[in-house]
Structure 1
């Protein structure tokens, strides 16, 4: 395993067959050393080998008297915080956090639902969400209430943005509605399970009583908006679901279908009081809103508003 000098979080995730959020949590707790190249986290091969060796040693010694490491007996304090989600606005948020505090923001590109489940399990500090609930027509809160049971949390609006179809230039197949997807000659490219775009599609198929089995290309998955848009641009598929920004970057047409609310959820604990206060200040600052607005395709009207809070 030491042939490479270092690994990305993605590569270690594949090697150990664990989620990227699990690795970020190990880094955050100081159990797995990491370093940054720009905004990318990397792990030395030697450190990874040592971590694996330590786990094997611990396992083989489980019936022996515990060995106490006095230097590590106290709780490891870390300023690392994990921000989950894929939108480029989260990179800007990370920049503001780094500039105005001693926190060290780490980025995880895991989808909304999987990140929320990881937060329930104690992994992740700031989770971004765009999860559509077909029964209520509401975003995010129905999922949070079901998943973060027993936790206290705050839900803050980050921005609003358009979601809809990516189609080829000129929309040659005239794809304009969810029911168009059931036509056999139309091939889609999907997002991965747990992503907000995948849940939006699945909820709309359910509401329109369309079986995924009748959707040509439903099993073809990509892991982010840009990849879906690129597949459409290449001609390998006719339509995909995503946000407006990626369509403009790739140079394809976009058919808006819904305005989605993109929110941030943070657990409320004694340890996160300072973090929550800082995030509120950043989101409501004119400078942050102006920077987001300058990107185009984002609505910051409600940025920083408290959507829901438990006590």
Structure 2
């Protein structure tokens, strides 16, 4: 039975709760208001963005100041409004938490939506995708209307291992272009098997260094990271982005031991960007879309293909044919092109493993 196109999708969204020892609790609109003040610089405009009156906004800020014991926003006659030090800390703490929790919550939402569909419609032909978190992968649930998707986020090596043991139908992995990609290919040779697997083209994305607006430290590439005045924030060791960075460092003969903050790890591109935007680091490595999302400048360093592996026998199944049609269609590819630093690359085309390795 095809899935009802009117079935609503459930999203799991984190929210903060501030409560003191007496049980007093802050209005959740306060964090939305702080974000709007940071972006707009005027309380009147910020209140309008949040959908509340100026008086309500003023009361929220007053209550927040009383709750924490220090003001959250500095209001200056004729000069607008700006966040205080604590106000900025609260805003960026929330942004970092959302960026960190995003993949896990999306995976949980995928499980809940799948359970709801199965309860409503019985047995469904589910497409199980294991892949690292990324902006293009996030688009898939919005476009696979008639294909129930079980999306689980994990590293490229974990995804390919899951494919080999039959725990998923599709596995996402990254392959940088140029000489740097040669080192990454070695890691996939035992996991991608020419006789058993096929690769589906997906997207290409640009990776590089995210820096504060205007690039105040004059960072130009990975060579700049050894400057002791530059604070760096890294991705976790198992991620494809970390593998790419390690290859770029090796190619440039840069020792990671000389990079200040190399041991500090975040688990998503957005979490790295939020860390830099909060002023806790001067630069981090990731995709351009994350940099733009948090108002950072971007220094492009590499282009990589994000690919999907499957068993060759799976390509004969109706769910796979439908999946390929969606990837090849204009709606999905146009959505990818709207992402900064992303483009469709052989999207939906079948590629022989031997041609990659």
Give the TM-score normalised by the residue count of structure 1: 0.68
Q: Distance in 2 between matches of 1:185 and 1:43?
A: 48
Cα offset, 1:38, TM superposition: 5.1
User: Which residue number in structure 1 is paired with residue 168 of structure 2?
Assistant: 124
Structure 1 residues 294 and 214: alpha-carbon distance in aligned structure 2, compared to 1, 3 A threshold: closer
Larger helix fraction of residues:
2
Deviation at 1:218, TM superposition (A): 1.1
CA distance in 1, matches of 2:319, 2:185: 21
Structure 2 residues not aligned, in runs of 5+ = 1-11, 13-103, 116-122
1:92 corresponds to = 139
1:253 to 297, 306, 316: 297
**Pairs within 5 Å for 1:254-293:** 254-269=298-313, 273-293=317-337
In structure 2, C-alpha distance between the alignment counterparts of 1:275 and 1:309, rounded to whole Å: 22
How far has the Cα of 1:309 moved from its partner? 4.5
Unaligned runs of 5+ in 1: 1-7, 9-23, 25-35, 45-76
Q: Structure 1 residues 196, 269: CA separation in 2 closer, same or farther (over 3 Å shift)?
A: same
Q: How far did 1:230 drift?
A: 0.6
Residues 216, 280 of structure 1: alpha-carbon distance in 2 compared, 3 angstrom cutoff: same
Conserved? CA contact 2:183–2:247, under 8 Å: no
Specify the alignment match of 1:33 in structure 2: none
Question: In 1, are the aligned partners of 2:143 and 2:326 still within 8 Å (CA)?
Answer: yes
Q: Report deviation, 1:164.
A: 0.3
| CA apart distance, 1:265 | 1.3
In structure 2, what is the equivalent of residue 298 of structure 1?
Answer: 342
Is contact 1:134–1:207 with CA below 8 Å preserved after alignment?
no
Q: Are 2:228 and 1:181 equivalent residues in the alignment?
A: no
| CA shift for structure 1 position 199 | 0.5
Rounded to whole Å, the distance in 2 between the matches of 1:213 and 1:108 is 33
- What is the CA-CA distance between 1:40 and the residue it aligns to? 5.7
Aligned residues of 1:154 and 1:308 also touching (Cα < 8 A): yes
Residue 343 of structure 2 aligns to a residue whose secondary structure is: coil
**1:276 Cα deviation from its structure 2 partner:** 3.1
What's the CA shift for 1:93? Answer: 1.9
Give the corresponding residue for 1:80: 126
| TM-score, normalised via structure 2 length | 0.60
8 Å Cα contact 1:162-1:257 kept in structure 2: yes
**RMSD between aligned residues:** 3.1
Misfit runs of 4+, over 6 Å: none
Aligned equivalent of 1:107, options 147, 151, 159: 151
CA shift for structure 1 position 138: 5.1
Tell me, yes or no, if the aligned pair for 1:131 and 1:143 is still in contact at 8 Å: no
1:197 to partner: Cα distance:
1.1
Q: Deviations over 1:176-223 (max 9, x none)?
A: 111111222222111012211100111111222222222211110000
Deviations 1:266-300 (A, max 9, x none): 12235873343222211111222123223443212
